[in-house]
Each structure stands twice: as structure tokens, then as C-alpha cells.
Amino acid sequence: MQEIPNKFSERKIYEGIFSIFERELEEISQFVAFADCNMEVCSNKIHELHLRVCSEVENILKNIIHQYFVPVEDIQQSWKDKKINS
């Protein structure tokens, strides 16, 4: 399986992304208190942050899957086989 060359730098990247998300969430909390009565509150900023966090989690999980379970090459070969057989 293919390993990422420098795991330390990868971790620093993830920590940097997390700190950006954390900062943005703190900015939102200046305008909307985190309380049960505000569960229905929605804004473009909250929606954008939610989508970006979900996208980043998906990318990290794909990276973990490719690194430890299913190499990218196997997936690419599987797709090539499906194209040939269809």
C-alpha cells in the first residue's frame, strides 16, 4: 500500500484546517448563542461552514481508506474493468 511520505506535515495540515474551522465557529458564536432555543437558526455562513467541514471530513476519510485499506490503484483498476465489461 502507498504511504504518505511525511505524516508529521500531514498532521500539521489537518490541525491547521481544524483551527480555521474552530475560529470560524467562534466568530459565528459572537452572533448566535449556542443554546437549545437557537437550534432553528440558520444562515449562509453556518451552511457554508457545515459544507466545508463535511467535505474535509470526507477527504480525510478517503485518505485513510486509501492509505490503510484499499489502495487508489485497486479502485482505478476496478473502474477500468467495469468500463471494459459494460
Report pLDDT for 74: 77
Report pLDDT for 7: 64
Determine the Cα–Cα distance for residues 62 and 56; give it in Å rounded to an integer.
10
Report pLDDT for 66: 83
Q: Where are the domains of the chain?
A: 7-85
pLDDT tens-place string over residues 11-61: 888 899 999 999 999 999 999 999 999 999 999 999 999 999 999 999 989
- Is the pTM above the cut of 0.85? no
Tell me which amino acid residue 75 is: I
**Residue count of the chain:** 86
pLDDT tens-place string over residues 50-79: 999 999 999 989 888 888 888 878 777 777
